Amino acid sequence: MACSKGQSQGDGPDIVIEPVVNGGGVAEFTNVQPMTGIVVWDGNASAIPEAHSLEYSYMLYEDIVTEKGVYDWGAVENKLDDIASRNHQAILRFRYTYVGQLTSVPKYIKDLPDYNETKGLSEDKETWFPDWSHQELKDFTLEFFEKFAERYDTDNRLAFLQVGFGLWGEYHIYDGPFELGKTFPSKEYQTTFLNKLDAEFNNLHWSISIDAEDTKVTPFRANTALLNLSFGLFDDSFMSAEHSTSNAPRFAFFGANRYKTLPIGGEFNYYTDYDQQNVLSTNGPHGESYESFANRFHVTYMIGNDQYRYQTKERIKEASLHTGYKFEVTKFEKINNNSLITVKNIGTAPIYYDTYLSINDNKSSSSLKTLMPDKESVFTINYDGDEELIITCDRLLNGQKIDFKRSF
């Protein structure tokens, strides 16, 4: 039986148990949660802002550095400010190689007399590949991410960083002149690079392509200790017809539990126009819905820039709402001057930055990032006032808000 304030049960200490009707919460989720959902490329004129919380952009090394040791972050600042102006956060990927284009290697390196890039055909287009035999390129790349981490590791305009080598930075040269140590960095250098990023980024989550599983290309199978580094994963051919035989085993190699602490993302595959047209159809392009895929692989975000060509804005927003964490408060009690709040994650993934329940600036003793999908836990706030219950996260932009569904 619940007791009134000042009453006690037997000879024990005073215990107050009250149903609480605090403010806060929503009856149903109508807003895409920060750092989740279907992602568009920055500046997509077709996109409606309310269907997204994230925007994606490639970035070029040569836009930041032209002279040795001289960094001008203006291109990054402009990009992050532009995306934030829409109350969205960014996913960035720096790349050297893109089909049909020159590399983005800084000019001062290209001008070195013993630096020699490779020109080849990729997808029948003249494409240039960096000279990974040159020490200056290797040293620069390590220094670049050290400087980037110093500046952006805690920047709340940036949600996630993707990194990699080869075509589009996706850990492959599936079509073109592949040569370890020349057109693609050696396994020894990749090992150094991965350990460097793990050391430099203490807050910002960085991810690599699942194609890094390929033992012909990367060191992971020969050096399984690398699997303990703090990288998330992205899959650039999500929901392809070959997904179960090609992509899924790569996810499995990197660990079925990786999603518990590190984000899983990707991009709807471009193998065929049919796939792009149907990834958000009821049964997907190959008999399984996006919602089912997102649940199975614990997806936090998925790049779907072309979906406005094929789907309604309502369907795109619906898919966004079904991607990433979603918190439901199922019970709220006050006991011994504490607030005990039962929360269930009804989403597809955890949240990956520290996030707390809060009443009147009093935070829960543990972070919501420990709450896995389809799991429920009790969080304690050492405060029992009647002010509004909210969710706080230092990684958010001003004006962003994490909702919770209220069912108590």
Phi, psi of 280 (to 5 degrees): -105, 15
Please report, in tens digits, the pLDDT of each residue of the chain (408 residues total): 233 333 334 445 555 545 444 557 899 999 999 999 999 999 899 999 999 999 999 999 999 999 999 999 999 999 999 999 999 999 999 999 999 999 999 999 999 999 999 999 999 999 999 999 999 999 999 999 999 999 999 999 999 999 999 999 999 999 999 999 999 999 999 999 999 999 999 999 999 999 999 999 999 999 999 999 999 999 999 999 999 999 999 999 999 999 999 999 999 999 999 999 999 999 999 999 999 999 999 999 999 999 999 999 999 999 999 999 999 999 999 999 999 999 999 999 999 999 999 999 999 999 999 999 999 999 999 999 989 999 999 999 999 999 999 987
CB 263, CB 300: distance < 8 Å:
yes
Instruction: State how far the alpha carbon of 351 is from the alpha carbons of 28, 70, 174, 190, 239, in Å.
Output: 19, 36, 33, 29, 23
* pLDDT at 408 (0 to 100): 78
- Cα–Cα distance for residue pair 55/330, rounded to 1 Å: 32
Tokens of 241: 């017809």
Of the candidates 258, 143, 123, 257, which has an alpha carbon nearest to the alpha carbon of residue 193? Answer: 143
Q: Give the start-end residues of each E strand in 221-310.
A: 231-238, 264-268, 301-303
Kindly report the pTM of this predicted structure: 0.94
Burial class (CB in 10 A: 0-12, 13-18, 19+), 209: buried
Phi, psi of 373 (to 5 degrees): -55, 140
Question: Side chain identity at 394, as an amino acid letter?
Answer: D
Pairing outcome for strands 362-363 and 356-359 = antiparallel
Find the angle CA(143)-CA(149)-CA(155) to the nearest 5 degrees: 155
The string of DSSP codes covering 60-84 is: EGGGT-SSTT---THHHHHHHHHHH
Q: Which pairs from 97-101 meet CB under 8 Å and 24+ separation?
A: 97/127, 97/128, 97/129, 97/130, 97/165, 97/166, 97/167, 97/168, 97/169, 97/173, 98/58, 98/127, 98/167, 98/168, 99/123, 99/125, 99/127, 99/167, 99/168, 100/125, 100/126, 100/127, 101/127, 101/128
Tokens of 242: 């070959």
Question: Side chain identity at 343, as an amino acid letter?
Answer: V
Tokens of 297: 């692989």
Q: What is the pLDDT of residues 50-108, one digit of tens each?
A: 999 999 999 999 999 999 999 999 999 999 999 999 999 999 999 999 999 999 999 99
CB 190, CB 247: distance < 8 Å:
no
